[in-house]
Structure 1
Amino acid sequence: MRPTDFLPIFGWLKTYSRSDLQGDAFASAITAILLVPQGIAYALLAGIPPQLGLYASILPPMLYALFGTSRTLSVGPVSIAAVMIASALASPEISALHQPEQSAVMLAAETGMILLLMALLRMGSLVNFISHPVLTGFTSGASILIVFSQLPPLLGLAKFDCTWSLGCYADTVRTANPAAAATGFCALSLLILFGRPLTGLLKKTAMKPAWITAVSKCGPLLAVALGAAAVNRFDLHTDYRVATVGPIPAGLPALRFDMGDYAHWRLLLPYAVLIALVAYVESVAIAKAIANLKGEKIRPNQELFGLGAANIASALSGGMAVAGGFSRTMVNFSAGARTQLAMLAASGLVALALMFFSPYFAAIPKSVLAAIILVAITPLIRLKNIVDTWRYDASDGLAEGVTLLGVLVLGIEEGITLGIVLTLISYLRITSHPHIAVVGRIQGTEHFRNVKRHEVKTWRHLLLLRVDENLTFANVNYVEEFITDQLRRQPDIRHIVLIFASVSYIDSTALEVIEGLNDTLKNRNITLHLSEAKGPVLDKLQKTDFLGHLKPGKVFFRTQDAVNELA
């Protein structure tokens, strides 16, 4: 193994240039502007002290920069992980421990260990088991929950218990705090203004795209700065009961970890598994999207290691679970980041902010942070995508819709689990009913096509069947039933040719069923043949007695050869 395989940072450092430094330096400042308010906001969203979000924005990105394969992925606190942490902490058995901070840190540790174990077992392909529709449905459902959860702090409502399902919002809305609501809506208006309106206006000027990104992404920092200034200037916290972040310990976090007890770890494990899966799938999806734009390559197993190391680092520094963030990654990329040096520098800026500016964070209104979360999370609600998916594939659309409803009605973990189960059931249903085509020859050619789609020539005594799926225990009985049904419709058939052009694998159960089918056909004076079988399939068949039992049936190189001899 080369050093760059385990530490990809050495790969891009060898070719690092001055132009790379300019892009990374600029992007690091812009990303740091997002990291500070988002780190505080997502920690509060998770129901834990705000410093846990800031701690998770320092060491974890540095570890990912060492081990991760994406050059621009921004790793840190993210909204989806935050709401999953909140769901775990709100569960009765964990909330009864009255240790939310320790539980959040332990979740980060367990998440990291699970990801590292997956890397050790080379389970990078596990990403394929959570389909895109399920992930989209989960993200939309979780985002809707986040929106509802942020309405109380945005409006200055009294805190009420939330079980992370729609039922927890059915109570009568309490009287809003006018000062907090005004602060929140001013921040919301400012953030919306800094979005498309300001971006569209700046695009009409001669300003460079990177500077447009820089200016438009300063909204969160400006909102928290103005909000904190308003609290201090007008005594909003003491005179008008506007909730604020409160004191945040100054300085860098100490590297330590409270092991806790075995029972505590066991209670958190199911939640950590789901957080690890979702964090990995979402991070790899974002990393691949950016890598495709830049012509780079992502190595899934190494991503597991990078994300695992980042979460372990977060736990050791007293932070929350982390993942790749879509909005920050796009900002990092748009601002001109070339390598992970941008995130290393951004982490350094967050560390400086925590060391020298933490007293100023105490006055940040929670209503402003709620506005930041709402603006960041709203684009992730993609209800129209369910309709589009349904039009293309009803089973995928159903899985996406059920996942969303499951998250809203049953809860975070139950919703995504339901979606994954539905996807697997749909996959099993499809694979157990493979596409089989009765084919004939297009006149004047040697091309064989489906009789239901093309004008083709067929033969009274010859049946050509193309099987478009590997043959396994799950679908071979369906193939047998299909052949039996065709013989019932065409009683004059004397030769059947199974076209195996799309078959790459036949398991032992399927082979046994085909052997039994061959014996049945012989008793009816019908001969079974194969054509266009692939080399690996023939290699396996030659290890058995099947080809001998097939006689007088033959294995034809081309389907046309079978027609020439049997028609």
Structure 2
Amino acid sequence: MPHSKSNNLRLIEFFPITGWLKSYTRQELNSDLFAGTITAILLVPQGIAYAIMAGLPPQLGLYASILPPVTYALFGTSRTLSVGPVSIAAIMIASALSAPEISALGNPVQSALMLSAESGIIMLLMALLRMGGLVNFISHPVLTGFTSGASLLIIGSQLPQLLGLKAPSCGVELACYSEYLAGIVPATLLIGLIAIGLLIFFGKPLVFILKNAGMQPYLITAISKCGPLLTIMLATLAVAYFDLKAQQHIAVVGNVPSGFPKLNFDFSPIEKWYALLPYSGFIALIAYIESVAIAKVTANFRGEKIVPNQELIALSISNLTAAVSGGMPVAGGFSRTMVNFAAGARTQMAMLIAAAMLALAVIFFSPWFANIPKAALAAIILVAIIPLVKLSDIIHTWRYDRGDGIAEAATLLGVLVYGIEEGIMLGIILTLISHLRKTSQPHIAVVGRIPGTAHYRNIKRHQVETWPHLLLLRIDESITFANINYIEEFINAELSRQPDLKHIVLIFASISDIDTTALEILENLNHSLQAAKITLHISEAKGPVLDKLEKTDFIKQLQPGKAFFHTEDAVRELSKDGALSL
């Protein structure tokens, strides 16, 4: 019996779907059916829009919205994450495909499928190496700066679609761009502006109206989330009815093949794999970080648990599935996930239902997609992306922590000026430099005793008791090779200010580790103090730190200095002969 129970736990761990399916109820099915239907409404316009944004045929976005969510539902630990094409990945794919060394190899569709395959393989390797915690190495300011910078790039890439502009064929002269802007197609701009207006109306204004009308929350969600599909339908009908493609030169999606592509396992030539590898690595990293961040948001609302390493496995298999089924790289989408969650999704059954509905649409309704105007798709992307540009966050971050503020601003500017990969690397490097700077200059407080208590606080912040011959120092950081010289200089500066010192107590309450270099310098410092007739002591050292120190001669070398359990014990013993001062 225990062996059987252990096997069941392993099965649930690798296939989380087997866990919630056992207790799946009819009520949950009703909720998932409703949420899946609402989410399916978003899948068509978003799938097409993100594929076009990436510079790919529209069907690659649709295919990526069918089988990959199904495989995620089998392996993923989030019950509401909606996996498929996402805007940030789309702009990264576009950046990769437009790189000279990639475009020179030709066949962008094959390159996109290879990006899916390589991203999946990289995530799988990360999972095998238990690198799920890698998400913690990119700080929130860097991620925010990257998101804002990438969002601005996306906005820039969609404005020509909204205006009906074609790529300029001349240089960078002002006259060239004047001629370029003169090519705005008024009918395209009108469709785009009307689409934006409709999408905005279906947001907060319509929700406010429906709430005041006393409508049920689930109906409000259903109606408000129909905005993108209704916008696409109206724009497509207008293009078809008034023959705007021929009459006004409106750019449309064009033919979308019906049905599914054949499963493809041919990803040669090998030189493309090498060329695409750096781009795949960044796509895999950002897709994973974005997906886990979104999954954690919705999981926290319901007290559910996300397993980062299992998420790597789920996303890797989803991307491999996208590769063999003709889809672009996938990740968890913020807008779709929040729609899925708000619509009442209880489990991944909602995404299975949404994927099934999209599959039916691809099989039977693909001809209807041909007249979708690209301006309407651009409007959907712009309305979804603009809230992700958070320039004011840089100011708030700067006020709280200048190092993080610099990293956030540099990441944003790096993405805009140098490119996505370079911007992320710049942000990570600056974050590490900021962290090392903080670590190398730890906070050190000269402390004294609050009168009538056994509490010790910073003499610069509180009225405390001090002793001319006794110095109490609290070091608020582990002692390492990076900061030991700073600590030594701080102690020497205090010695010059207090010539009557006889005892120094280092309070180790905040210290979790002392490395070898730091220990050696502490030993040398102790010898120097003993030569000056000053005794060094330590207090409140944690068990693991004491264990390491006891493996050396440091405690013995301190003598007559001691290792006190409490700072109060040290003060009682060492302050007997000292005059009290305030």
The reply to whether residue 410 of structure 1 matches residue 422 of structure 2 is no
Deviations 1:512-533 (A, max 9, x none): 1111111111111111111000
Structural mapping, 1:501-512, within 5 Å: 501-512=509-520
Aligned to 1:25: 33
Counterpart residue identity of residue 276, structure 1: A
- Identify which of 307, 311, 327 aligns with 2:315: 307
1:450 deviation in Å? 0.5
Q: 1:281 to 1:144 in 2, by over 3 A?
A: same
1:170 deviation in Å? 9.9
1:90 deviation in Å? 1.1
Runs of 4+ residues over 6 Å off in structure 1: 168-171
Give the conservation status (yes or no) of the 8 Å contact 1:461–1:493.
yes
Aligned to 1:487: 495
How many aligned positions are there? 563
When normalised by structure 1's length, the TM-score is: 0.97
Give the conservation status (yes or no) of the 8 Å contact 1:227–1:368.
yes
Counterpart residue identity of residue 186, structure 1: I
In structure 2, the residue corresponding to 1:110 is in which secondary structure?
helix
In structure 2, the residue corresponding to 1:463 is in which secondary structure?
strand
Aligned to 2:404: 396
Aligned to 1:281: 289
Give the conservation status (yes or no) of the 8 Å contact 1:102–1:258.
no
1:399 deviation in Å? 1.2
User: 2: CA distance between counterparts of 1:525 and 1:395?
Assistant: 41
1:239 deviation in Å? 2.4
Aligned to 2:23: 15
Q: 1:162 to 1:257 in 2, by over 3 A?
A: farther
- Identify which of 457, 463, 469 aligns with 1:455: 463
Give the conservation status (yes or no) of the 8 Å contact 1:257–1:318.
no
User: 1: CA distance between counterparts of 2:383 and 2:14?
Assistant: 37
1:162 deviation in Å? 13
Give the conservation status (yes or no) of the 8 Å contact 1:148–1:169.
no
Aligned to 2:350: 342
- Identify which of 501, 514, 521 aligns with 2:522: 514
Give the conservation status (yes or no) of the 8 Å contact 2:168–2:180.
no
User: 2: CA distance between counterparts of 1:489 and 1:173?
Assistant: 70
1:174 deviation in Å? 3.9
Give the conservation status (yes or no) of the 8 Å contact 2:168–2:177.
no
Counterpart residue identity of residue 101, structure 2: E
User: 1: CA distance between counterparts of 2:389 and 2:347?
Assistant: 30
User: 1: CA distance between counterparts of 2:272 and 2:182?
Assistant: 35
User: 2: CA distance between counterparts of 1:185 and 1:199?
Assistant: 21
Aligned to 2:305: 297
Q: 1:265 to 1:220 in 2, by over 3 A?
A: same
Aligned to 1:117: 125
Q: Among all aligned residue pairs of Structure 1 and Structure 2, give the percentage whose two residues are the same amino acid.
A: 66
The reply to whether residue 271 of structure 1 matches residue 272 of structure 2 is no
Give the conservation status (yes or no) of the 8 Å contact 1:436–1:468.
yes
1:285 deviation in Å? 0.9
User: 2: CA distance between counterparts of 1:201 and 1:222?
Assistant: 18
User: 1: CA distance between counterparts of 2:152 and 2:178?
Assistant: 15
Aligned to 2:561: 553
- Identify which of 29, 52, 62 aligns with 2:60: 52
Counterpart residue identity of residue 72, structure 1: T
User: 2: CA distance between counterparts of 1:33 and 1:171?
Assistant: 39
Counterpart residue identity of residue 196, structure 2: L
Deviations 1:151-181 (A, max 9, x none): 1111111234899xxxx99995242112222
Give the conservation status (yes or no) of the 8 Å contact 1:29–1:349.
yes
Gaps of 5+ in 1: none
Aligned to 2:478: 470
Give the conservation status (yes or no) of the 8 Å contact 2:110–2:267.
no
User: 1: CA distance between counterparts of 2:570 and 2:56?
Assistant: 71
Give the conservation status (yes or no) of the 8 Å contact 1:500–1:532.
yes
Aligned to 2:165: 157
Q: 1:161 to 1:462 in 2, by over 3 A?
A: farther
Aligned to 1:102: 110
Give the conservation status (yes or no) of the 8 Å contact 1:63–1:313.
yes
User: 2: CA distance between counterparts of 1:131 and 1:223?
Assistant: 37
Aligned to 2:381: 373
Deviations 1:274-325 (A, max 9, x none): 1111111111111111111111111111111111111111111111111111
User: 1: CA distance between counterparts of 2:472 and 2:463?
Assistant: 15
User: 1: CA distance between counterparts of 2:525 and 2:22?
Assistant: 62
Q: 1:92 to 1:171 in 2, by over 3 A?
A: farther
User: 1: CA distance between counterparts of 2:135 and 2:170?
Assistant: 31
User: 1: CA distance between counterparts of 2:149 and 2:538?
Assistant: 50
Give the conservation status (yes or no) of the 8 Å contact 1:251–1:354.
yes
The reply to whether residue 429 of structure 1 matches residue 441 of structure 2 is no
Aligned to 1:251: 259
When normalised by structure 2's length, the TM-score is: 0.94
Aligned to 1:184: 192
1:205 deviation in Å? 1.8
Q: Which stretch has the larger CA shift, 300-309 or 76-85?
A: 300-309
The reply to whether residue 233 of structure 1 matches residue 241 of structure 2 is yes
1:6 deviation in Å? 1.0
Give the conservation status (yes or no) of the 8 Å contact 2:35–2:350.
yes
User: 2: CA distance between counterparts of 1:169 and 1:529?
Assistant: 73
Deviations 1:232-263 (A, max 9, x none): 11111122211111111110232213222222
In structure 1, the residue corresponding to 2:536 is in which secondary structure?
strand
The RMSD of aligned alpha carbons is 1.6
